[in-house]
């Protein structure tokens, strides 16, 4: 991530008190990564559920008045049931005449936001998508599932959008919308980056709970408890609001949109906000050089005896 990094952290230190030397062209990514590191070391020191938390713009979101807004990021991806094909020139994946749908992890994030609203802990769910014009279809699906509003940040078709650019857009929208909670899928099934949620939290300087398998929101205390599966057991985090949460597969089972709601969603207005209006430049230092299919797996063989199996394990697989 960085060409050079030298850091020293104290569990209760602020970003200004921590020593960090970086060399990286993108300062935004550095800022996000630094804050994520600070949160990690504070969690190790036992300060995850207590202590003073830093706030950026929107720090008072969700507090007072008995109302809270939840913002959910959704992404349009190739449907999970479709077998993807690589283009003949190996420049990417074939996207023409391919069924597209909402990223399954985003569906889980949206479902959790809807459940929070239905419990009375939130008053509004806002769905956001950054992508080509066709992303509007994904937003209409979100509206049909129950989202109150939708915002589309258009990007020209064919322009790659990577996690840092999306995180900057979400930060800018959060500063305008002032949600008490931002929920995202932990990753998208097309690139499997698993970076956007962490970067959003770092840029906003909000606490984060990733890979959530259970979410409990206490509106009165303005905290959210996140249970996450880790190696060897479960980890529980207590986050002050506003916060960022990324969802795991076992968090919930997304609902199906009913036909009446699908018809209603077609007539709903979707707000359009350009990256320029948010003062965000969609760019990336990454370039896809080549996309190739995984090597084909050799066909299996039926062996007639244990001796034959041992012979193949020893002489062909060379594991004995």
Q: So what's the pLDDT on residue 29?
A: 53
DSSP 34-79: HHHHHHHHHHHTT-TTSS-----TTTTTT-STT--EEEEE--EEE-
**If you average pLDDT over residues 187-202, what whole number do you get?**
92
Beta strands in the chain, from DSSP E residues, in sequence order: 5-8, 19-22, 69-73, 76-78, 100-102, 124-131, 149-154, 181-185, 208-218, 223-230, 233-240, 243-247, 271-272
Q: Are 160 and 34 found together in one domain?
A: no
Least confident of 22-36, 105-119, 249-263: 22-36
Report yes or no: 103 and 81 within 8 Å, Cβ to Cβ. no
Same domain? For 77 and 223 the reply is yes
120 and 236 co-located in one domain: yes
Q: Do 184 and 244 form a contact (C-beta atoms < 8 A)?
A: yes
Same domain, 128 and 171: yes
Q: How far apart are CA 31 and CA 33, in angstroms?
A: 6
Q: Is pLDDT above 80 for 223?
A: yes
Q: pLDDT confidence of 37, banded at 50, 70, 90?
A: low
Stretch 225-251: mean pLDDT, rounded?
93
pLDDT of residue 91: 81
Alpha helix positions (H), 194-278: 196-204, 259-266
Domain assignment present for residue 132? The answer is yes
| 63 domain-assigned | yes
Give me the pLDDT at residue 154, please.
94
Examine the domain organization and report whether 141 and 256 are in the same domain. Answer: yes
Structurally, how many domains does the chain consist of? 2
Same domain as 136, residue 161: yes
> Which tokens in the block code for residue 282?
């969609």
pLDDT recorded at residue 30: 53
Per-residue model confidence (pLDDT) at position 48: 44
Residue 263 lies in a domain: yes
Strand partners for 151: 128, 271
Please indicate, yes or no, whether residues 92 and 238 belong to a single structural domain of this protein: yes
Q: pTM for this one?
A: 0.73
Q: Is residue 235 part of a domain?
A: yes
Domain identity same for 20 and 141: no
Residue 252 located in a structural domain: yes
Q: Give the structural domain span for 22.
A: 1-47
Q: Which residue has the tokens 């699908």?
A: 262
Task: Write down the pLDDT at residue 34.
Answer: 55
- 195 in a domain, yes or no? yes
Q: Which CATH number characterizes residue 59's domain?
A: 3.40.50.620
Gap between the Cα atoms of 250 and 228, Å rounded: 10
pLDDT digits (tens, 9 = 90+) for 68-93: 999 999 999 999 888 888 888 888 88
Same domain, 89 and 30: no
Q: Output the six-digit token pair for 222.
A: 């303005």
Please report whether residue 60 resides in a domain: yes
pLDDT at 9 over 80: no
Instruction: Categorize the per-residue pLDDT at 4 as very low, low, confident or very high, splitting at 50, 70 and 90.
Output: very low
């Amino acid at each position: 991530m960085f060409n050079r990094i030298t850091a020293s952290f104290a569990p209760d230190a602020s970003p200004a008190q921590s020593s960090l030397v970086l060399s990286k062209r993108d300062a935004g990514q550095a800022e996000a990564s630094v804050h994520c590191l600070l949160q990690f070391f504070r969690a190790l020191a036992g300060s995850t559920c207590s202590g003073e938390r830093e706030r950026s713009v929107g720090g008072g979101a969700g507090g007072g008045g008995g109302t809270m807004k939840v913002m959910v990021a959704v992404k349009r991806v190739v449907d999970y049931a479709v077998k993807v094909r690589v283009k003949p020139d190996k420049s990417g994946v074939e996207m023409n005449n391919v069924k597209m749908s909402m990223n399954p992890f985003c569906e889980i994030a949206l479902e959790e936001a809807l459940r929070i609203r239905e419990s009375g802990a939130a008053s509004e769910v806002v769905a956001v998508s950054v992508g080509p014009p066709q992303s509007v279809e994904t937003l209409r699906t979100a509206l049909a599932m129950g989202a109150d509003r939708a915002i589309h940040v258009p990007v020209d078709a064919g322009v790659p959008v990577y996690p840092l650019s999306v995180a900057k857009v979400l930060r800018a929208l959060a500063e305008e919308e002032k949600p008490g909670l931002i929920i995202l899928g932990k990753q998208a099934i097309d690139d499997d980056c698993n970076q956007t949620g962490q970067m959003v939290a770092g840029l906003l300087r909000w606490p984060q709970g990733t890979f959530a398998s259970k979410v409990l929101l206490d509106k009165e205390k303005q905290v959210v408890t996140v249970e996450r599966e880790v190696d060897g057991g479960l980890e529980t985090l207590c986050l002050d609001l506003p916060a960022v949460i990324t969802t795991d597969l076992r968090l919930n089972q997304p609902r199906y949109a009913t036909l009446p709601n699908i018809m209603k969603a077609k007539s709903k207005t979707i707000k359009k906000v350009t990256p320029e209006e948010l003062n965000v430049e969609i760019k990336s230092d990454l370039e896809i050089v080549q996309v190739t299919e995984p090597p084909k797996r050799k066909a299996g063989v039926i062996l007639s005896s244990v001796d034959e199996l041992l012979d193949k394990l020893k002489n062909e697989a060379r594991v004995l």
